[in-house]
Structure 1
Amino acid sequence: MRMPLLCVVSAVLCLSGTASLAQAETSPAPPQPAQAAPAKQAVFNQEQLDQMLAPIALYPDALLAQVLMATTYPGEVGEAVAWSKANPKAQGDDAVKQVAKQPWDPSVQALVAFPQVLVVLGQDPVWVQRLGDAFLAQPDDVMGAVQRLRQQAKAAGNLQSNQYQNVTVQAAPAAPASTAAAPASTIIIQPADPQVVYVPTYNPTTSYGTWAYPASPPVYYPPSPLYYAGSALVAGLAFGTGVAIVNSLWGDCDWGHNDIDIDVNRYNNINVNNRIGNNQNTWQHNAVHRDGVPYRDNRSRQQFGRQLDGASQRAAFRGDDAQRAQARDRARASMDRAGIERPATSNRQARDQVREAQANRPHLADRQPQGRGGRDGQQARQTLQSRQNTHAGRARNNAFEGVRSPSRSMAQIDRGRTSQMLAQRPHSARAAGHAISRPSAPMRRGGGGGRR
């Protein structure tokens, strides 16, 4: 009886072990800890962000959003500044409609409604470009810096509600992990009248109380007296004439996501030639309007620099394809084997080739006719020296003339060779007016002498 019982126990143990092994093989492996996503490249530190954002951090939220969007297109902002100077009386929705046909991004077009703002932005194009680069590379840090500066201005007593603006404090939403030292609350600035915007002007060196970075104080860009004549000073902020708008400001700061929301209805009402859909309610940078201005950080270059519409078609139109590149390499190799100088591939190389050719060219003084002396020879040398100086001046003024017109260069070389050959012939002396001495005629046999 013991043997069968022992067999049963062994069988049960064997089956249980097999089941455990099967379960171990079929059960999924424990999840591995997820690797942290690569952090965004920190282009500017906190001190630099506070310094560059100080002149605009106290703008109303909608106007601040419009400025941040537009500064990502610094070239077009410069064109808008020039247009506003040429049309000083244009402002509000009417000004935006006047530039509807300009090839600018809608965010840049919206800024012409506020000539006061363009006066400030036009004083420092480098600062404008840095603002846009910071917003593209570090949007979370930029929005955090704005809130940090507003907290300082409020603590200094220079940011409060009045007849021009409403200042409210709300609990700050959960900040992204990438944002450092996020403020505990969010300060929102809105116009007291939604259809009238007062652009504040202030000195950032004093409006934020004691500046935290004495070595890097903010820059003060004074406004034009034209827009702030008779302005009212309220708690360190000056407010000039209000700008009546209905649809010009269609962006707003989304402090919860640190980006910019778009009011689609207002956007379409003012941008009738460039309407968007209801699902396009979050701003996206359009690299087409960058106008060739390079991006500052690698992430922006990878995201926007190679994603222009029609980039492949433009490359094919320019001939930048693999077959043409191989053909160029074969042609250059063939020229090297034949001892032929390669054509220049850049302006600098062409300039160097022209200078080298001029240095190796025989001087005009070495080609002057022989046998001249005295006053005539000196005069001839002076004339040649004058021609040489004139030739050198022309070469400096038009170094690429021979490169652009090879046939003209060859014609000039042929004329020079012909002149040299003519100068070396005997009859050239007669043409120059010199006396010619002839040898005596041979003596005649048995007769008189020769001619005297």
Structure 2
Amino acid sequence: MKHLTLKAAILGSVLFLPTVAVAQTTATETTETTEVAATEEALLTAEELQTLVGPVALYPDTLLIQILVAATFPLDVMKADRLIKDNEGVEPEALKETIDAQGWDESVAVLATAFPDVLADMAEHVDWTDTIGTAMLAQSDDVMAAVQNRREVANASGVLVSGDEQTVEVTKGASGEEAIVIQPTNPEVVYVPQYDSNVVYVQESNNSNDVMTAALIGFGSALILDSIFDNNDPWNNYWGCRNCGGWGGADLSEP
């Protein structure tokens, strides 16, 4: 079975994304009324957000955080991708110092250093990146709720399972709300899942072939973090999901 990359998954989701309209002003509207109307029209619905986050909702929480935060800096994502392409063949650890010197947000720097393929897909589909980044700035709670919705669907259908690559847990926050947390089974080894977001969320929950259902999510090569982040780097111990995707009120942007 052929699994999709983030690039293909994003492309599939973009086909179903609405055009985000902004309220137009009229001569009789006050500035305040216009701004309120524009904000309300720009907000995406729950269904629209679920489509938007679909390609990344099943990523490990710590990687998901970097994608969502980096998306709020689409220009830096483009610049970082260009730097990576201009230095093709240079080992990540050798390029890390150059990346750090650019002054980009840490989320962009981490993707450029450790997940250049993910960054490249975000740069290639910058409209998707810009849209999800705007949603994060305007309605981050709704974005995270959409992520949980997609995970609940995948979990209920038997698609989202624990294994050597990832550990899936249902936890409860301080308010008692349940949240599905995904983290690397080995905190030092991160796998990027590959799946078709137009298929993985629509499986029947009573599918009798559990093995085939679980196989709808594949995994590419492993990223060994020790080869990039040393013991003195705050990211070295981050990938065990200390903040777990911000669930329970944790700060999304802090490692």
Q: What do residues 42-75 of structure 1 show as CA deviations (whole Å, max 9, x unaligned)?
A: 6111121111100111110101111111111100
Paired residue secondary structure (1:162): coil
Aligned 8 A contact 2:168 2:183 in 1: yes
Shift in CA distance, 173/93, structure 1 to aligned 2, threshold 3 Å: farther
Partner of 1:243: 223
Partner of 2:192: 199
The reply to whether residue 186 of structure 1 matches residue 189 of structure 2 is no
Aligned 8 A contact 1:116 1:199 in 2: no
Instruction: Return the letter of the residue paired with 2:194.
Output: T
Q: Aligned equivalents of 1:90 and 1:243: distance in 2? A: 16
Aligned 8 A contact 2:69 2:253 in 1: no
Aligned 8 A contact 2:158 2:214 in 1: no
Shift in CA distance, 235/151, structure 1 to aligned 2, threshold 3 Å: same
Partner of 2:209: none
How do 1:314-333 and structure 2 match up within 5 A?
none
Structure number with the bigger relative contact order (C-alpha 8 A, sep ≥ 6) is 2
Q: Aligned equivalents of 1:92 and 1:153: distance in 2? A: 33
Paired residue secondary structure (2:169): strand
Partner of 1:370: none
The reply to whether residue 55 of structure 1 matches residue 29 of structure 2 is no
Q: Aligned equivalents of 2:52 and 2:88: distance in 1? A: 27
The reply to whether residue 260 of structure 1 matches residue 252 of structure 2 is yes
TM-score normalised according to structure 1 size:
0.40
TM-score normalised according to structure 2 size:
0.68
Paired residue secondary structure (2:252): strand
Shift of 1:144: 0.6
Q: Aligned equivalents of 1:83 and 1:163: distance in 2? A: 33
Shift of 1:261: 5.3
Shift of 1:174: 2.5
Shift of 1:119: 3.0
Aligned 8 A contact 2:71 2:129 in 1: yes
Deviating beyond 6 angstroms after TM superposition, the runs of 4 or more aligned structure 1 residues are: none
Gaps of 5+ in 2: 1-35, 205-212
Aligned 8 A contact 1:196 1:242 in 2: yes
Aligned 8 A contact 1:157 1:235 in 2: no
Aligned 8 A contact 2:58 2:193 in 1: yes
Instruction: Return the letter of the residue paired with 1:73.
Output: F
Percent of aligned pairs sharing the same letter: 36
Aligned 8 A contact 1:152 1:208 in 2: yes
Q: What do residues 331-389 of structure 1 show as CA deviations (whole Å, max 9, x unaligned)?
A: xxxxxxxxxxxxxxxxxxxxxxxxxxxxxxxxxxxxxxxxxxxxxxxxxxxxxxxxxxx
Partner of 1:43: 43
Partner of 2:86: 86
Aligned 8 A contact 2:159 2:200 in 1: yes
Structure whose alpha-carbon radius of gyration is higher: 1
Partner of 2:23: none
Shift in CA distance, 129/261, structure 1 to aligned 2, threshold 3 Å: closer
Partner of 1:278: none
Aligned 8 A contact 1:139 1:258 in 2: no
Partner of 1:445: none
The reply to whether residue 166 of structure 1 matches residue 167 of structure 2 is yes
Paired residue secondary structure (1:243): strand
Shift of 1:209: 1.7
RMSD: 2.7
How do 1:288-299 and structure 2 match up within 5 A?
none
Paired residue secondary structure (1:160): coil
